[in-house]
Homo-oligomer: A and B are copies of this chain.
């Protein structure tokens, strides 16, 4: 502990989440500059795919204008290893903020951590690809089993954006509770889609293909909605939760994941082609809906982890209309933690699980955790 401290920040990715993060970083910088002892948060690197700004003098880049400056005067970035070499020479600790979904960048985290660079990120790739990469990351991290001089890593926003999901699960595990089951709606897109397709307490929702089209038009899906409907995004989140709960899940394809892309449409060459043909399968989805209705239930797209059985799965399930998962609204996520301590009624976290500002909030919150650890 010293009377004041500089922490150097590098940001890769200045799109939606990246820009929201920069706004929050500016807020945090002003806040920490006023506290006693002051912490000087200094942005020294801003980078996107083809350009970067790097302050080799270690003077602060202007957070409020850096995105524009990057466009105007950025230069091609060197290989990651070279960037890490440069960051490791900073006269103080460095935190790298990865606001991309780049698998190559994710694969380099162990090298960065070993050089003492901390990482905060909403990038799911690093934590949901191979178990080997997961192990390498937490073997290197100071908050894993790495040396105390290595970097710290936090990734709250990889599941449920800014909702306190991973921090809650880690606290349950770290304090010795027995987590028996985790179940929830982990995709804002799937939440919106099924809350509209089969709303609770109302006569009927629309046809499935029409709801997908509506979700896309409202911006709730990826540009190609198949990237949501294949279930892989949810499978990646379940992989992360299961690993924190202690299961050595090999990959997001190592357990049953139900894709809502009909087999016959897997060969579609574009998202538009897919959307044009999806109504052919409305009768199938209507059957799913009426089967649920006949039981007094609604259908939802959920992920679940049975910890004792080591079973993870993602797909459609039916829920009583009084169940919290059925009662979800809009595009909210809900996560139910069933544990020995909490008994029959789970610990529930619910709210928006997507969007630039709430995703950036998880990243900024993680940055604060690293700052406290490095103080």
- Evaluate whether A343 and B352 lie within 8 angstroms (CB atoms) in the complex, with A164-B167, A176-B28 already known: yes
| A171, A349, A355, A375: most-surrounded residue (chain B CB, <10 A) | A171
Contact of A349 among B23, B164, B357 (CB under 8 A): B164
Cβ of A279 within 8 Å of any chain B Cβ, yes or no, is: no
A348 and B349 within 8 A (CB)? yes
- Evaluate whether A175 and B368 lie within 8 angstroms (CB atoms) in the complex, with A164-B164, A358-B342 already known: yes
Cβ of A271 within 8 Å of any chain B Cβ, yes or no, is: no
Interfacial chain B residues near A23, Cβ < 8 Å? 176
A149 and B1 within 8 A (CB)? yes
- Evaluate whether A176 and B373 lie within 8 angstroms (CB atoms) in the complex, with A164-B168, A327-B322, A342-B352 already known: no
B358 and A345 within 8 A (CB)? no
A347 and B341 within 8 A (CB)? no
B329 and A163 within 8 A (CB)? no
A365 and B174 within 8 A (CB)? yes
Q: Shortest CB–CB separation between residue A224 and chain B, in angstroms?
A: 26
Contact of A348 among B162, B350, B368 (CB under 8 A): B350
Contact of A329 among B167, B177, B345, B368 (CB under 8 A): B345
Interfacial chain B residues near A143, Cβ < 8 Å? 372
Cβ of A50 within 8 Å of any chain B Cβ, yes or no, is: no
A1 and B345 within 8 A (CB)? no
Cβ of A310 within 8 Å of any chain B Cβ, yes or no, is: no
- Evaluate whether A330 and B349 lie within 8 angstroms (CB atoms) in the complex, with A27-B176, A174-B368 already known: no
How does the 8 Å CB contact mask read for A308-348 relative to B, with 1 for contact and 0 for none?
00000000000000101001011010000000011111111
Contact of A24 among B175, B342, B346, B368 (CB under 8 A): B175
8 Å CB contacts to B: which residues of A157-182?
162-164, 167-168, 171-172, 174-177
- Please report the total number of A residues contacting B with Cβ < 8 Å: 55
8 Å CB contacts to B: which residues of A129-177?
143, 145, 148-149, 162-164, 167-168, 171-172, 174-177
8 Å CB contacts to B: which residues of A1-22?
1-3
Cβ of A65 within 8 Å of any chain B Cβ, yes or no, is: no
Cβ of A246 within 8 Å of any chain B Cβ, yes or no, is: no
User: A92–B149 Cα gap in the complex (Å)?
Assistant: 21
A145 and B35 within 8 A (CB)? yes
Cβ of A128 within 8 Å of any chain B Cβ, yes or no, is: no
User: A163–B329 Cα gap in the complex (Å)?
Assistant: 22
Cβ of A201 within 8 Å of any chain B Cβ, yes or no, is: yes
When C-beta atoms are compared, the residue in chain B nearest to A374 turns out to be B1
List 8 A-B pairs, Cβ < 8 Å: A24-B176, A163-B347, A164-B349, A171-B365, A172-B361, A176-B364, A327-B327, A330-B344
Q: A31-B176, A171-B368, A329-B345 are in contact. List 11 more A-B contacts (CB 8 A).
A: A1-B148, A24-B175, A36-B145, A164-B167, A172-B361, A175-B368, A201-B322, A324-B350, A341-B358, A342-B351, A348-B351
Identify the A interface with B (CB < 8 A): 1-3, 23-24, 27-28, 31, 35-37, 143, 145, 148-149, 162-164, 167-168, 171-172, 174-177, 201, 322, 324, 327, 329-330, 332, 341-352, 355, 357-358, 361, 364-365, 368, 372-373, 375
Query: A-B pairs with the 6 shortest C-beta distances?
Result: A27-B176, A347-B351, A348-B350, A1-B148, A175-B364, A171-B365
